[in-house]
Structure 1
Amino acid sequence: MLNINQLPTAAGLYFVPIPPIGGKPTKAPRAKGWNLPQSAQNPGGYSQEPNTSGNLGLYHGASNTLALDVDDLAEAERVFDETTGIDLEDWLNDFERLEIRSPKANRGKLLFKLPEGFKNARLQQLRGPNGVIFELRCGNCQDVVFGQHPDGGSYELIGNLAKIPEAPAVLLDMLRHWDEWKPCFNTALGESEPPRIAHTKSQEGEQLPGRRDPIREFNQSVSVSEILTRNGYKPKGRDRFIRPGSESKAPGAVIMRNCSDGIERVYSHGGDILNDSFAHDAFDCYRLLECGGDFNKALSWSPEISRHNQRLFAQERAKNAPPPPQSHDEGKQQAEPRTKPEWQPFPIVPANELTAKPIKIDWLLNGLIERASLNLLFGEPGAGKSLFALDWAFCMAAGLEWHDHKTKPVDVIVVAGEGFSGMARRLKALESKYQMKSPERLFISQRPANLIDGVNAQWVADTIKATCQNPGLVIVDTLHRNMDGDENSSQDIGRFVANLDGFFKPLGAATLVVHHSGHGDKQRSRGSSSIRAAMDAEFSATKDDASITLSCRKSKDFEAFKPMQFKLKPVELDWLDDEGEPMTSVCLAHDGEAKTTTQKRRLSARDDAILSSLSEAIAQHGVTPSGEIQSKFAPPNGQKWAEQKVVNISHWREFAYRCMAVDEKPGEEKLDTKKKAFQRCRNKLFDNKFTIEFGDYAWRIFEVK
């Protein structure tokens, strides 16, 4: 136990003597003036050199310290976990903590140093149904650091008073803004009155059979957390959020998952627009935070749902419309009773009607792009994907053949999200390639469009409809620059694709989306796999040194063309730069069918070392392959099996582990790391045709020079 003479006298700390009362220890000083400096006239005041036979208290006001005094550890842990995400056990077990340990169970007290000049030092207390849960003790109060507890046992000081930890920011926020944090604590304790559920306005035609409810569908497709996050709320603790611009950092927005109707809602007691004493569902958050409170604007979040309901309203109005006024002559005759339209069945047809006559594919670019189809063209940077898209657009708008592929003359719109500065030069290069001016039916946007948003997609579609007599192709270049969403989210991609189908397909136009290839796999597009699943056709542009290969990766209803090879052809334009030199650009020059290559994927240093270790293992432990291997596999590279050895994979693993360096880790963990790395490399070498494996044996394939 700490001896009173060991207390630091040069750490800027001030102590209060707390003599016993009636021979019994106490926690509170009784002397008048205890919170004033010690002097001859005030012997019971605080000082830096304590001298007492009783308990000793640390005076926070003069010492500029803070005590987090936990009276109910279990409840305090729950409150801190829910409101801050902090585990108090971590603080209470920190090796650098300064703790005053009470002999009473389920308690804890941590000491911290306040910043110099801190102006909100005062006692704050959180009470629950069973008493005090915790206190923030600072300012004009003290805590016993040496002595005996009134109920028996000694106080134990754990840590070094000369090295008091700085107060965590969250405790400072609580002290500065206790009135804003208090409601957060109360909701965590379940002491607040359940908030009222925000009233939902009635919608036009709610009772119509077959009507889709945009509020219900919004709540099913978008979470409250998603709306809050994209509007600047920061998650904190458990199901809680800090409003944008909050000075207190109090997580005043609380997610409610146990509403009686099963709908998730948020209740806010912060200073935001949601703080109106009501709990709001995701749709209502969207209305308030993104639509300025406009109910009708929020209802229009899905153009597809809006069009569906509008058709129902129109049909209902037609049923109930009054008959046209009769002329005088007509009135002489008995008016025929007005009848309601007959019931119309859902449209289905026999399959043999579909096959009774041929339905030709309406090609816009023969063998590649069909009218009203949805297509994807992806490639890595520099692979020419935008050049292909613009070349196709130029030829379709002009009615030119594209390398023996016929086109249908249509209006083409390029929604350009990037490369505005180079667009004019690329068009000039195409004018040079085809020896004609850019076609009048080709249109280029001057800005990107956020096509995940129905209002923006409608704007683009309306502009196309007003500008083009025969819209045939809309090129979205690129997906990333024309979608304010997460391309890895199947939900965001679903909304993006739904808008392309819902707004561009009714125009009779096909859509071509230009996209980037995957970060780790250049043979697929980047992001969610739902992108590819939604496409009618998918094309890739890949670069290999000076050659670019165009391939068809997916063709839903037609035979894929053979890969085509191109080269970038520099074009000198008839424009001059500031120095009087001709400007240049590039176009694609067809170089026939793509040529097969024996070049394999480049290996990393580790992969190459593990591949070399296979050769070493074969050299030392290689065996003649079994008859089964010889019957199933041709000998590599034109050799005879007598010249080719195989090796048991266990020997290969042994040699591979020798050349693998991993971070310093315990033995078993290091072995597990090597095992996983070896398996990843085996898969890569096999997939890229550097090795062959059969059963327990492996062997190499060497490139033919």
Structure 2
Amino acid sequence: MPYTLTPISLLTAKQPKNTWLIKDIVEQATTGMLFGSPASGKSFIAMEMAFCIAIGHDFADRPVCQGQVVYLAGEGFNGLTKRFKALEEKYQTQTSDVFISNMPAALICEKSKVEVLEEINNICPNPSLIIVDTLHRNFGGGDENSAKDVGKLMEVITAIINDTNAAVLLVHHSGHSSGDRARGSSALKAALDVEYKISKKGDVVTMKNTKVKDFDEPKPISFNLVPQPISGWLDDAGKPVKSAILELYNDTVPKGKVFLNKRESSILNALEALIDDKGISLPQSAIKANPMLSGKRYIHVDDWRTEVYQLLDADKLDQQAKQKAFKRAREKLEKEKQVIVTAELYCLS
């Protein structure tokens, strides 16, 4: 990009607009950071963002700009594979638009920087997001406590943004003496466009904004960290492999009320609409055996399944993914007593 000077009147002639990568959270072509203590959930959030952007799915109910993602991984490659597989299970889809490095980068090293950019340009020439997880493992031979070395790092990141037009998201550790700031030189925070502190209490992971330049400070977002079995994967002892996923946490949900995600709510709403449209009554023999079922209208599971599959067409799922999504939602609705099933006929509880 050449160096230019522009009259301010040309800039003020048109109202600038935010170019969101994730609405109200991070903009395109900016530098952001997630920081927190070990095991706080920061990588879970980074991977959730990556997967949602790659498949074009809302992140924490915020719209995303769909695009490809480069993930510069510094450690835990086997763990990353399991976590991304768990995200495939959660969203019932796969993607080829997240690209993970096979080793850490050394970003302040000129040779490494050139190699990284060449690989990005060869494999993923138009990324929307580049995640650096963790900053420490991808920093190179410099000192993160040195303002001079952090300055070199930010020059590299600026060059990457200018070259790719992607947002860069750093995943970093909190300070040794204070968990309220990222580790290293204060020059790092000064150079950021947006920053979030990630903390974990019990199974609740919270993302709290600690710096923002060009938009209103977003409210904290919390997630439940929940186990996620991985279908078809077994460990050495033959037991099912599990990972974990994030589910949006809503502390305003009254105690005892069931929380359904967006897809589960849509599937339940489809059943309700079918019952209103063409629900049938149970045979008298069934009602005689269980009088509590009297007065309700029912839909056969095949009709419900057909309607749900049509809904899932919007998510571009293949047949197997549709089957899994419907089965998982149906089982949860049964378990949480949102629906009643009798001889493959379903009604609302």
Q: TM-score, normalised by structure 2?
A: 0.69
Aligned with residue 219 of structure 2, among 541, 548, 562: 562
Distance in 2 (CA, whole Å) between partners of 1:387 and 1:594 is: 23
Residues 562 and 593 of structure 1 are in contact (CA less than 8 Å); yes or no, is this contact kept in structure 2?
no
SS across alignment from 2:39: coil
Question: How far apart are 1:594 and its partner, in Å?
Answer: 9.5
Q: Select the residue among 6, 11, 15 that pairs with 1:354.
A: 11
- Quote the offset at 1:477 in angstroms: 0.3
Among candidates 246, 249, 253, match of residue 588 of structure 1: 246
Distance of aligned partners of 1:348 and 1:454 in 2 relative to their CA distance in 1, 3 Å threshold: same
**Residues 402-459 of structure 1 deviation map (CA, whole Å, 9 limit, x = unaligned):** 121111111100000011121111011111111111x111111110000011221121
2:133 to 456, 477, 481: 477
Q: SS state of the match for residue 249, structure 2?
A: strand
Moved beyond 4 Å, runs of 4+: none
Q: Distance in 2 between matches of 1:538 and 1:505?
A: 20
Matched, 1:536 2:196: no
The C-alpha deviation readout for 1:531-562, integer Å capped at 9, x for no partner, is 10010000110122332211111110001211
3-state SS in 1 of match to 2:40: coil
Contact 1:415 1:476 survives alignment (8 Å): yes
CA contact (8 A) 1:487 1:493 kept: yes
Q: Which amino acid aligns with 2:14?
A: K
Distance 1:392 1:365 in 2: 8
Q: Match for residue 237 of structure 2?
A: 579
1:171-210 equivalence runs, <5 A: none
Letter in 2 for 1:589: E
In structure 2, the residue matched to 1:21 is: none
Q: What does the per-residue CA deviation read over 1:24-64, in whole Å, with 9 as the maximum and x for residues that have no partner?
A: xxxxxxxxxxxxxxxxxxxxxxxxxxxxxxxxxxxxxxxxx
Larger Rg: 1
Q: How many Å separate the matches in 2 of 1:564 and 1:508?
A: 27
Pairwise mapping of residues 243-258 of structure 1 onto structure 2 (< 5 A)? none
Q: Which has the higher helix share?
A: 2
Are residues 594 and 492 of structure 1, via their aligned partners in 2, closer, same or farther at CA, if it must alter by over 3 Å? farther
Once the two structures are TM-superposed, the CA of residue 504 in structure 1 deviates from its matched residue by 3.5
**CA distance in 2: counterparts of 1:593 and 1:514, whole angstroms:** 26
Aligned with residue 465 of structure 1, among 116, 121, 134: 121
CA distances 1:518-537 after superposition (whole Å, capped 9, x unpaired): 11211110111011001000
Percent of residue pairs identical: 41
Pick from 490, 496, 500 the counterpart of residue 157 of structure 2.
Answer: 500
Shift of 1:356: 1.2
1:452 to 95, 108, 116: 108
Q: What is the aligned counterpart of 2:48 among 388, 391, 411?
A: 391
- Which one-letter code corresponds to 1:459 in the other structure? E
Question: 1:449 and 1:593 mapped to 2: Cα distance?
Answer: 39
Partner of residue 440 from structure 1, selected from 96, 103, 109: 96
The CA RMSD measured in Å over matched residues stands at 1.8
In structure 2, what is the Cα distance between the partners aligned to 1:386 and 1:554?
19
Partner residue, 2:177: 520
**Residue type of the partner of 1:451?**
L
Q: Secondary structure at the match of 2:15?
A: coil
Match of 1:642 in 2: none
- C-alpha separation in 1, matches of 2:177 and 2:213: 26
Higher RCO (C-alpha 8 Å, min separation 6): 2
Kindly indicate whether the alpha-carbon contact (under 8 Å) linking 1:563 and 1:593 is maintained by their aligned counterparts in 2: no
Q: Which runs of 5+ in 1 are unaligned?
A: 1-306, 312-345, 596-705
TM-aligned CA distance change 1:517 to 1:593, over 3 Å: farther
Structure 1 residues 419 and 382, CA, compared in 2 at 3 Å: closer, same or farther?
Answer: same
Q: Distance in 2 between matches of 1:347 and 1:413?
A: 30
- Aligned partners of 2:65 and 2:180: how far apart in 1? 30
Is contact 2:71–2:130 with CA below 8 Å preserved after alignment?
A: yes
Q: Offset of 1:469 from its aligned partner?
A: 4.1
Distance, in Å, in 2 between the alignment partners of 1:426 and 1:560 is: 29
Deviation at 1:570, TM superposition (A): 0.5
Gap runs ≥5 in structure 2: 254-349
C-alpha distance after superposition, 1:556-593 (max 9, x if no partner)? 00012111111210011110111110001011111126
Letter in 2 for 1:428: K
Counterpart residue type for residue 356 of structure 1: A
Tell me which amino acid in the other structure corresponds to 1:503: I
Name the structure 2 match of 1:333.
Answer: none
Q: 1:593 to 1:413 in 2, by over 3 A?
A: farther
